[in-house]
Chains A and B, each alone.
Chain A
Amino acid sequence: MTDRFRCWSTENILDLFVDGRLAAAQEARVGRHLEACPSCRARAEELQPLAFKAAAPAQAPAGLADAILRRFNERSTAPAAPVWRLTPAQAVGLAALALLALSHGVPGPTTAALKPAAVEAPR
């Protein structure tokens, strides 16, 4: 059971280990576990970036570099994104404001006073 928990724990941070983003002490602990656990070690090898895998370098198709440069030039001359495109945060904020505005339409007494009822002196 302990080994299973240890494997679950390691699996959840394996991508950080492979990317070299773990703090030194933790990286050493994970490294030691990988040496002892074949399944976690296999999982880590699957997560390795392609460049590190022992394989023959792939052959790029002809004209790839020219095609990429052509697309890059097209994008740089394309018109910039419109200013009014909303991000998720802006959409949430505006939607919430609209909801607030609607809530003022619900029937009920409004108050013209700034002070809360609390500050009225007793008669």
Chain B
Amino acid sequence: MNARAVSRLDAALEACLLAAAFLVPLAVHLKAYDPYSLKSALLCTGALLAVGLWLARALEAGRFELPSSRALTAGLAAALLAWSMLRAGPAADAALARAAGPALFLAVLLGPGSASFARSLSWSVLASAAAASLYALAGALGFDPLPWSPRGGTLGSGSLLFAAQLCALPMAWPLVVDLEASRERRALAWLLAALCLAGLTGGAASLDAAALAAALPGKAQAMGVLSGLFAVSPLMGAGAGELSLHLLSGLPEAATALPMLPPSEPLATAAELGLPGALLWTAMVLGALSMALLEARRRSGSGDDRGAALCGAHAASLGLLTLAGLVSAATYAPAPGLWLWLIAGSAAALATERGSAVVSASAVPLPAPARRLLLVPLGAALLLVCALPAARLGGQLMLNRAAALEEAGDPRGALELYRTLRPEDAAGLQASLRAARLLLQEDDGDSVVQAREVLAGAMRFDPYFADALFLCAEADRRLKEWGEAERGYALYARLNPGDPRTYQPLAEMRQTLGDPAGAVASAQTLVRLAPEDPEAWRFYAETVHSVDPAAARPLFAKAAQVRDLASARKDARPLP
């Protein structure tokens, strides 16, 4: 064993974890559509790098060390990590993001977890939150340095920024009361805490009650998806990383709210990993919280005020973040999620620091040169797995480039780029959707057939991709496949009963297929959803007329009335 190399690997592991805690909340990439894709990529890469450094350290030292006092906690985390990997869904990069949390927890617990790491982590979290707060405040005052104005600054949403400040503020306490630190350091801690408080106050002041209330139906729908997924498979879950795909594809209304309202934890874990995953999650997080509180009390009683402040701050941070994750679902997003697992790991490490010197060591029964050779396949394997989040980010960039070409009036160029993306993730699915839409804009049969094939590919990956279902039904209608079209519209209507646009084509298909009663029912639903649309009433009247002309007369009158009302409203509008 080369002791210097082991020491350097220890330092590298600590630096990796602290850098991730600082960087992930601040990282933004303006050339990708999804504000979370870069953060998710960094989270996965950081977790993989941490695991790799820990393994490299163990290979160099010739042993895997498990502190006896941390065995139970490490066992829970390892179980959750293993279960997440076993339940990985087809979206491998999303599954990796879900497994990154327990991996980071383990990396802290079995790696640098100690009072000094806890102090450094407090600095990282506080500095990151303060920088995010400063950027958000600058943006609110009109001094946004980047050509992008998200509501939550670099965090991506107001609720995430709020949760981040809430988590960071308790971390300032042990730094400002640390009498062994220099005056300059304590002043810096005060300044960063003040920035976080300003961000928190600004975030609270900017919360729009009306907007939050309007977003509640979307939240309810998202919760409905969660409950549905859990009910379908309570023990196994839907699969790690599956949730974001279901929410995007099954509920377009909820998808628009997704950046603001990601799924709640631990309910999201329950939906993806089933009851075992949810129980392990709860045991780890609540266990770390209660252990930190007890340790704070013990240290305070034994006169270790510095240590007690650290433990108390970690417990407070963890508690607030868990609550924020339950209410606003902050911890499903990459940045607060990363903090949750790092702070939980650090809290558990602090609580078990006493007695962690005694270890159970599993020796690697190989000489040093052979152990070092193993680092080569380890590095290669990690690089290969790191390619998954990088590929996802690459997909986002390609989608953005193609969408820019489309908006600049080059549909052919855009189509070529859309077709380079395979429908295996959100970017690929949306590329298929946009490509199909471009093809359907052309009126020749070949383009419609190609559009149909593109959509079929997307639905092979996700059979309930709602927008693709609708476009597929449109394509079938143009190809005069009335039965297929009717089935497609009907399925879309079942998945999205509140969307009025599907009922007119559904009624037309049913009329064509000789189902007048079905056609009337669909037209009736249309006017129920769009009671102020004169065209909807006219269509309803015409549909009823084909079945019963006498019954249609009052409906035509109603259509005329609605049209007159609509015109009167338009005339009454004041001129600018």
Contacts and interface: CB of A to CB of B under 8 A. Distances in A.
Given A88-B11, A122-B467, A114 B151 contact: yes
Interface in A59-113: 80-83, 87-93, 96-97, 100, 103-104, 106, 108-113
Interface stretch (B16-24, B91-99, B192-200, B320-328): B16-24
B255 A16 contact: no
A75 B34 CA distance: 53
A111 B248 contact: no
Interface bin, chain A: 35 or more
The residue among A11, A96, A109, A113 with the most chain B CB atoms within 10 A of its own CB is: A109
B19 A89 contact: yes
B1 interface: yes
Contact of A16 (B18, B361, B367, B397): B361
B361 A110 contact: no
Given A8-B366, A16-B359, A109-B400, A89 B124 contact: yes
B120 interface: yes
A12 B1 contact: yes
B259 interface: yes
Interface string A2-22: 000110111111011000011
Interface in B410-454: 426-427, 429-430, 433-434, 437
Nearest to A20: B358
Nearest to B474: A122
A116 interface: yes
A12 B16 contact: no
Interface stretch (B102-110, B182-190, B231-239): B182-190
Contacts of B28: 100
B471 interface: yes
B303 interface: no
A97 to B, nearest CB: 6
A122 B30 contact: no
Nearest to B20: A93
B63 to A, nearest CB: 5
B403 A8 contact: no
Interface string B217-250: 0000000000000000000000000000000100
Contact of B361 (A13, A82, A111): A13
B15 A8 contact: no
Contact of A13 (B31, B63, B248): B63
A119 B255 contact: yes
B453 to A, nearest CB: 17
Given A104-B29, A118-B426, A118-B429, 8 more contacts: A9-B364, A16-B359, A22-B360, A88-B11, A109-B404, A118-B33, A118-B430, A121-B252
17 contacts: A8-B367, A12-B62, A16-B359, A26-B360, A80-B182, A88-B14, A88-B15, A92-B16, A106-B31, A108-B401, A109-B401, A109-B404, A110-B31, A115-B33, A115-B256, A116-B430, A118-B430
The 5 tightest CB contacts between A and B, nearest first, are: A12-B62, A89-B18, A109-B404, A9-B363, A110-B30
